[in-house]
Amino acid sequence: MELFWFIPLHGDGRYLGTSEGARAVDFDYTRQIAQAADRLGYHGVLVPTGKACEDAWIAASSLISATSKLKFLVAVRPGLMSPSTAARMASTLDRFSNGRLLVNIVTGGDPHELAGDGIFLSHKERYEQTDEFMTIWRRLMQGEQVTYNGKYLRTEEGQLLFPPLQKPYPPVYFGGSSPAAQRIAADHVDFYLTWGEPPEEVAKKIAEVRKLAEASGRTVRFGIRLHVIVRETNEEAWAAADQLIRYVDEDTIAEAQSILARYDSVGQKRMADLHKGDRSSLVIGPNLWAGIGLVRGGAGTALVGDPQSVAARIKEYYELGIETFVFSGYPHLEEAYRAAELLFPLLPLKARSALDQSSAIEAYGELVAYNKRPGKVTGPQGGGTTHELVQQTRQ
């Protein structure tokens, strides 16, 4: 499997729904996150798009030289740019990054946001346009001269003069829960992405897309977008989940859900149905928690628990056919380290390269008394906390 992390271009902090504990997401901070993901051994990062984000392409371009192996999953939004412009951008970034570009096709699900960008198409029409866009884009990326006259898009003798490094083009990712979206996935993309629904629902999506792809003579691989809250014990992990939404009040939930209700995205509706805005209904499966979706659009679920429990859930999705896991956590810099340190040793991760190492120096911690390498924990930890020792002394 491959594990990706997330570049939080729309903001970051220690809590949701409040400015308490917030931090500015500027270039230096996103560079820290990208470099941490690169060094820790994540295979890539998702660079999001939309009204609430800094521009994904400029952000990814800025982070190329700060990293060496990390791949960048960058969004293309049909309707905001022509297929030929998108092809030139993708080809250039792929070459300049030495083949580290992945392309994420995002049709969009908020009519209000889309109208602000000048797109006034219905849900059905947007996916028809996406189909035309992908038809032209793929042909251009493969070196064809393209003349196309569709319902939404038209091009005459379009051509990409500087081809991408990856052949036939950088891998294409795409998510969407509607039948129209699944049809796009079956016909055009390499990886179909789903948000973190319970395994039985994810299995149904995989089966449907796989069936559609087979009917088109294609194969599609699968990925999932989830948050992760992993701690050394289950108790610590669930306490951290509660802390994440400690400042989220009922008014904030109502306001967020009112905004999200205007979406015509089937996937967003499915996310909302998992919790229905009810704080008492957030555990929706073993180690699967919907609390983030109370105030966040898009991916709203998290895997919560100790390393063994979370790894077991990841493997459960993996057995269904999920190969790529796109994770995030708040705040993203610290949680990138925590997730890697606690989960990577427990998972069957694909090597980024034969020579890939997260560090040339073995990670063994600080030397004991400046002379001795510390050993592994092999049994119950002795000594107790300072607080416990003080209490024992007083007794």
165/98 Cα distance (integer angstroms): 7
Q: Which helix (H) or strand (E) holds 149?
A: strand 146-149
1-39 tens-digit pLDDT: 999 999 999 999 999 999 999 999 999 999 999 999 999
345-389 tens-digit pLDDT: 999 999 886 545 444 446 667 877 767 778 877 655 555 543 443
Largest CA distance in the chain: 87
Indicate if the pLDDT at residue 249 is higher than 60: yes
- Does residue 114 sit in helix, strand or coil? helix
284-313 tens-digit pLDDT: 999 999 999 999 988 899 999 999 999 999
Q: What is the pLDDT of residue 381?
A: 58
Q: What is the pLDDT of residue 298?
A: 87
Q: What is the pLDDT of residue 380?
A: 52
Instruction: Identify whether the C-beta of residue 330 lies closer than 8 Å to the C-beta of residue 14.
Output: yes
Q: What is the pLDDT of residue 2?
A: 97
Mean pLDDT value of segment 34-49: 97
Indicate if the pLDDT at residue 330 is higher than 90: yes
Specify the long-range contacts of residues 246-253, CB closer than 8 Å, at least 24 apart. Answer: 246/15, 247/15, 247/16, 247/17, 247/18, 247/20, 248/16, 248/17, 248/18, 248/294, 248/295, 249/17, 252/17, 252/295, 253/277, 253/279, 253/294, 253/295
Instruction: Identify whether the C-beta of residue 220 lies closer than 8 Å to the C-beta of residue 209.
Output: yes
Q: Which of 297, 302, 237, 307 is nearest to 271 (CA)?
A: 297
Indicate if the pLDDT at residue 259 is higher than 70: yes
Average pLDDT of the residues of the chain: 91
pTM to 2 decimals? 0.90
Mean pLDDT value of segment 338-342: 98
pLDDT-based confidence at residue 124 (cuts at 50, 70, 90): very high
Q: What stretches of 245-360 show up as alpha helix (H) in DSSP?
A: 250-260, 266-275, 307-320, 332-343
Sketch out the chain's domains with CATH numbers. 2-370 (3.20.20.30)
Indicate if the pLDDT at residue 133 is higher than 60: yes
